[in-house]
Structure 1
Amino acid sequence: MYNTKLQVTDNTSGESLINENNSAHSDVRKQAKLLDSLIAKLIQQLAIIYANVELQQNYSAIAGNLVETMGLDADCHEPTPYSNLWSEQDIVLITYGDSVFTTSSTSSSAPLATLDKFCDEYLPELTGIHVLPFFPYSSDDGFAVMDYSTVNPSLGDWQDINRIASKRRLMADLVINHCSSRSVWFDNFIKQKTPGKDYFFTVDEDADISDVVRPRVSPLLRATRTENGVKQVWATFSHDQVDFDFRNPEVLIQFVRIIRLYLDMGVNIFRLDAVAFLWKVTGTKCINLPQTHEVIRLLRTLVEHAQPDAMIITETNIPNTQNLTYFGNANEAHGIYNFSLPPLLVNTLITGSCLYLKRWLMSMPPAQNGTTYFNFIASHDGIGLRPVEGLLQQEEVDTLVETMELFGGKVSWRADKEAQKAYEINIALIDALKGTIKGEDHLGFERFICAHTIMLALEGIPGIYIHSLLATRNDYQKVAATGQNRAINRHRWDINELIELLEDKHSQHHQVLSSLNHLIKLRKQQAAFHPNATQFTLHLGLQLFGIWRQSQDRQQSIFCISNVSDQDVTLPLTEINLIVSESWYELITSTKLEADMTSMTLAPYQTVWISNIAT
């Protein structure tokens, strides 16, 4: 009897083991099939990228190397196509690692630790954080990277980065077009040693570069003496920022290795800096080339198989129609920087007319599922002017530039075939909006809040620059000290001085932060503000800018209407077709609209969010 029971028990155990083994074999087969499919896709992408390049390895070998470098041979995930990796909860802080710091003798906190604590206490509603390049660098406030694998010791270390990433969605820069001329790679290029020997793009002195689109006025080529003679090195941005040569697959593999490191360190969003310039072909404009787009698609393929909730956002400060191409067919960038928004919104608020903003918004395609706009109105850079080419008349651009100069702004220039052209306006946003084309006035605060209220309501993920949240004004001392126009909006706050100002209820710093925190918290509660929720542009004249947002389940509608002028304006409620069978609420002031209400008077720069759901 005992033996019979033992036999039965053994059979049950055996069946269990067989089931487990079958399951394990099924998983192995599934992984093998997924890897085969991935490698086949990578081979197709590599064939497009390197179609006109003579390679020492075949595409299959390079694909295998990429898979191994990303660690996908051991852990590969199947991405879900057209999946939205974001919600109305996502709002990103844009900041340098040392935008706030401490000099206290009683504290030895690294700037990244100080930033983390400051965000905990004063910016609790922001769910994401873009820490601008936090690596050792030689110039351009971090964008001339010397070492991609370490954290700048003056900011902190990887533990500080991990701590930030454990609390918020972390965006980091992949400075992919160029690196510092003081990097080990470029030093090896000069010495003709590996790694680095063949990493940088060079051309003959007589190469045709006449059509190259330039974002700067400095000479494009940098004569560099190497062990093999003088080389003409391509330098799109400055002679301290030397461009990579992605015709060499080893460069691509190095950046995949960097991406893997950043994922392991908690980075969830990759901002591809200046990626539009990545691939070069002499005799062309050397911007937005097909190979560049395919490199981005390949990187997305690798990233989404490594970590399906990770995102790629392209930073392409170029005309609007070109910028939109970086969505691909929902298979390229997850998000694109909405570069046309800052100049158009500033133009709207200083002229009192939403004509150009409305025209642009009506022409913008809704982002497909799996893609989104990244909206911002201020950043560490300036207000770009290339993104309004074809959107603003030259007279409007000239007026914008003149008004910003009147408010203390600087202008950065770029080279053009015929003459230098204004490339961007460098100014703190709170100063940019302190008046109109008629001059400075007393409505700067209202105008500034209005700009953010409009941005927070738009389709896409909002990104808010730390110096907008803190109402930081133009930093002329830093401009003088660095000789760089962009330094005007890159102030560094001593944390004790800043907290004293923020705790003063009468200071503009406190008032701005309180107002924006209120709006941010309110926005996160609205399903109609999902980045991919429906958006329609309203036609309410030129002084009232309005959009209608509707949640994806069609349960919530919000009419977002702003008076963009310095005069009172009446809004006839019949113009927005409020359904009479529903109750309506103004969310910002938490008031219910009376059933017999026929109009509202909006004060200068006042915004209303009228919703059928009170929150």
Structure 2
Amino acid sequence: MKSWSRIVLIVGAYPDSLASSCNKTSPISELSEILSEFLPSEICLHLLPFYPSSGDFGFAPNTLRKVRSDLGNWSDIGNLAKKRKIIIDGIYNHVGIEHEWVKSFLEKPSIISNVLFAYKGLQPNQGPLSPRGGFALREYHIEDECWCLWQTFSEAAADVRLDSVIAQKEIKNHLEVLASHGVWGVRLDALVYYAKKLDGDIRHNPGVYEKAEMVADWVYEAGLNPIAQLDCDAMGVTYFAEGKYKQIPINDFSFSTILALAFIEGSAKGLEHHLKLNTKLQRVVTLAPRTHDGILLRSEKLSDVDKAQIIKFAQRENLKVRISNGTPYELNCSAPYFYSKAVGVDNTYRAIVIALSVASFGGGHAYFYLPFLVGYMPEYSAEVQDEDPRALNRSKIPIEHINDFLKSKDGDLLADLLNVLCVVNTDNGVSHPKEIQSGKDIDSGLLVIEDKTCMLKLYVNFSNSVSTAIGVCEKEAIFTNGLTENGVLKPLSVAIVKSDEER
């Protein structure tokens, strides 16, 4: 069994993240080359779906055996894995609507219905609601019979029975292929939907724990490491709660919103409280300032007050709030664009530096989406025609933006910061105790996180207007973008210093 103990930072990127006119190499190879220019090799890459797909931005795979020919091939994946640890999505809850299993179902459903969740004679309203709106069951008329097919997310994919021998064989084969190409880990996508119940909720149905652990065991048996798409809310922490499974990282889906609120308020109080609660979970929690979908609002860890405040800000700034089944689901703007509205355009990358630092010190692992890392704001440059608001965050980054960024002061700042953050090997307090505190009164924008194992201390000033004295001068910092010789941390600045015992 491999260990996550040396994975600190994870960068997520689509294989075709870059808008390039270069035809000399595959998009996957080009991405690998660009990342090598500014990402230390210690940083892990989550390569988002590269399979032939029916939609959902690659998350409706028509096969797990092939790499999309316009993106590259398995050799490109193997070469990438030689440069850094990579994580690949294990999309096992469903397959694309053009998958051979679904095609067989649409021709003669009785033959393949035991592989898919297919029901003869039911109506869509006899099943649960999809998390993206509407019913999860969709109606098909085949051979003069009415069938319903369980499609949790969209018409582009159909859900799979994981107790099917056929499905199990396909999943195990996929894991063997990943292992043979040097892949490090597998992100278990949509695992809370593994078990189904017609009269139940769409998530967390009886049998889901067993199925999740079954798939995790297959990942381990293939010599790979699982990471779970789970929120660290009251239900999420009940998965993988014992034994070897407890080291499987889960996510803090509310972190992106809590962090955004800290910038709006210029105060670290709410963030301090949030991070302290996480340390009590005794789980490895991954913190992401944003995901490939946006800033999430659907976590049960978010209070109604938090949601109302960020939605009010979003509406004031004309930012898109995605609604699902009458409930706010996410903000589909890019996080840098959101930060530019909260702290001003000129301070956008200062906010990104803060987000990178807090995510790295405050959790088990930090997860950064590539466009966020390089400060790309598609709102200012991309023409997104897709009706799905999530398409904005899949906008390709112009290669000119990458090159200009790497030559800029912000690019130099990122390089220095990443080299320091790679030292911060945290795991949410399980073996790396932390002290987290915020300032009082006029210094309420100050957040201090000390990692007692790495012997490093992070100071962050979330205030957009007030400087704060921290008692450490500039020459004592191993990284800073705003600490003075007199020990004053400027607004929207970061300082990383050695702990008192080390100085």
With structure 2 as the length reference, what TM-score do the two structures score?
0.89
Distance 1:195 1:170 in 2: 37
Aligned equivalent of 2:288: 376
Q: 1:586: how far off?
A: 2.1
* Matching residue's letter, 2:495: V
Q: Does 1:413 align with 2:323?
A: yes
Taking the TM superposition and a 5 Å limit, the aligned residue runs for 1:155-194 are 155-192=71-108
Aligned equivalent of 1:538: 437
Aligned equivalent of 2:226: 312
Q: Does 1:601 align with 2:488?
A: yes
Distance 1:603 1:593 in 2: 8
Aligned equivalent of 1:42: none
* Matching residue's letter, 1:183: H
Q: Does 1:347 align with 2:257?
A: no
Distance 1:592 1:585 in 2: 10
Aligned equivalent of 2:313: 403
State whether residues 20 and 398 of structure 2, in contact with CA within 8 Å, keep that contact through their aligned partners in structure 1: yes
Distance 1:560 1:278 in 2: 40
Q: Does 1:326 align with 2:239?
A: yes
Aligned equivalent of 1:523: 421
Q: Does 1:431 align with 2:337?
A: yes
Q: 1:346: how far off?
A: 0.8
Label 1:276 to 1:209 Cα distance change in 2 as closer, same or farther (>3 A): farther
Q: 1:303: how far off?
A: 2.6
Structure 1 unaligned segments of length 5 or more: list them. Answer: 1-78, 579-583
Taking the TM superposition and a 5 Å limit, the aligned residue runs for 1:468-487 are 468-475=372-379, 480-487=384-391
Q: Does 1:335 align with 2:249?
A: yes
Q: Deviations over 1:177-204 (max 9, x none)?
A: 2111111110011223798442211345
Q: Does 1:95 align with 2:13?
A: yes
Distance 2:345 2:70 in 1: 41
State whether residues 475 and 491 of structure 1, in contact with CA within 8 Å, keep that contact through their aligned partners in structure 2: no
Q: Does 1:86 align with 2:5?
A: yes
Q: Does 1:586 align with 2:497?
A: no
Q: 1:335: how far off?
A: 1.0
* Matching residue's letter, 2:175: I
Q: 1:96: how far off?
A: 0.4
Q: Deviations over 1:63-114 (max 9, x none)?
A: xxxxxxxxxxxxxxxx4xxx74322x6322210001015314xx42110111
Q: 1:494: how far off?
A: 4.1
Aligned equivalent of 1:151: 67
Aligned equivalent of 1:39: none
* Matching residue's letter, 2:167: V
Label 1:277 to 1:239 Cα distance change in 2 as closer, same or farther (>3 A): same
Q: Does 1:391 align with 2:302?
A: yes
State whether residues 528 and 557 of structure 1, in contact with CA within 8 Å, keep that contact through their aligned partners in structure 2: no
Taking the TM superposition and a 5 Å limit, the aligned residue runs for 1:497-516 are 497-502=400-405, 505=407, 510-516=408-414
Distance 2:141 2:210 in 1: 33
State whether residues 481 and 494 of structure 2, in contact with CA within 8 Å, keep that contact through their aligned partners in structure 1: no
Q: 1:118: how far off?
A: 0.8
Label 1:260 to 1:313 Cα distance change in 2 as closer, same or farther (>3 A): same
State whether residues 480 and 494 of structure 2, in contact with CA within 8 Å, keep that contact through their aligned partners in structure 1: no
Q: How many equivalent pairs are there? A: 494
Aligned equivalent of 2:54: 138
Distance 1:205 1:252 in 2: 27
State whether residues 251 and 287 of structure 2, in contact with CA within 8 Å, keep that contact through their aligned partners in structure 1: yes
Distance 2:103 2:294 in 1: 32
* Matching residue's letter, 1:550: K
State whether residues 585 and 593 of structure 1, in contact with CA within 8 Å, keep that contact through their aligned partners in structure 2: no
The worse-fitting range, judged by mean Cα deviation, of 343-352 and 282-291 is 282-291
State whether residues 218 and 237 of structure 1, in contact with CA within 8 Å, keep that contact through their aligned partners in structure 2: no
State whether residues 133 and 143 of structure 1, in contact with CA within 8 Å, keep that contact through their aligned partners in structure 2: yes
State whether residues 475 and 487 of structure 1, in contact with CA within 8 Å, keep that contact through their aligned partners in structure 2: no
Q: Does 1:547 align with 2:434?
A: no
Distance 1:525 1:466 in 2: 20
Label 1:290 to 1:364 Cα distance change in 2 as closer, same or farther (>3 A): farther
Distance 1:548 1:441 in 2: 30
Q: Deviations over 1:522-576 (max 9, x none)?
A: 122356789842122224233212222111xxxx422222111112243455xxx
Distance 1:226 1:198 in 2: 16
Distance 2:463 2:44 in 1: 32
DSSP-derived class of the 1:538 partner: strand
Structure 2 unaligned segments of length 5 or more: list them. Answer: none
Residue from 256, 260, 274 that aligns with 2:176: 260
Over aligned residue pairs, what C-alpha RMSD do you find? 3.0
* Matching residue's letter, 1:359: H
State whether residues 544 and 561 of structure 1, in contact with CA within 8 Å, keep that contact through their aligned partners in structure 2: yes
With structure 1 as the length reference, what TM-score do the two structures score?
0.73
Distance 2:20 2:68 in 1: 17
Q: 1:397: how far off?
A: 1.4
The worse-fitting range, judged by mean Cα deviation, of 124-133 and 341-350 is 124-133
Aligned equivalent of 2:213: 297
Identity %, equivalent residues = 21
Q: Deviations over 1:493-531 (max 9, x none)?
A: 343x2354235x4xxxx3433322211101223567898
Distance 1:455 1:190 in 2: 46
DSSP-derived class of the 2:25 partner: coil
Label 1:124 to 1:558 Cα distance change in 2 as closer, same or farther (>3 A): closer
Q: Deviations over 1:568-594 (max 9, x none)?
A: 243455xxxx9xxxxx93221499999
DSSP-derived class of the 2:479 partner: coil
Residue from 456, 462, 467 that aligns with 2:366: 462
State whether residues 192 and 228 of structure 1, in contact with CA within 8 Å, keep that contact through their aligned partners in structure 2: no
Aligned equivalent of 1:359: 273
Label 1:196 to 1:126 Cα distance change in 2 as closer, same or farther (>3 A): farther
Q: 1:224: how far off?
A: 1.8
State whether residues 112 and 155 of structure 1, in contact with CA within 8 Å, keep that contact through their aligned partners in structure 2: yes
DSSP-derived class of the 1:165 partner: helix
Distance 2:126 2:312 in 1: 32
Label 1:478 to 1:138 Cα distance change in 2 as closer, same or farther (>3 A): farther
Distance 2:361 2:318 in 1: 29
After TM superposition, what 4+ stretches of structure 1 lie above 6 angstroms from structure 2? 528-531, 590-594
Residue from 554, 560, 564 that aligns with 2:458: 560
Distance 1:375 1:242 in 2: 30
Label 1:406 to 1:160 Cα distance change in 2 as closer, same or farther (>3 A): farther
Q: 1:130: how far off?
A: 0.8
* Matching residue's letter, 1:451: A
Q: Deviations over 1:368-399 (max 9, x none)?
A: 5xx62222112211111122x3433x243123
Distance 1:133 1:557 in 2: 37
State whether residues 161 and 265 of structure 1, in contact with CA within 8 Å, keep that contact through their aligned partners in structure 2: yes
DSSP-derived class of the 2:131 partner: coil
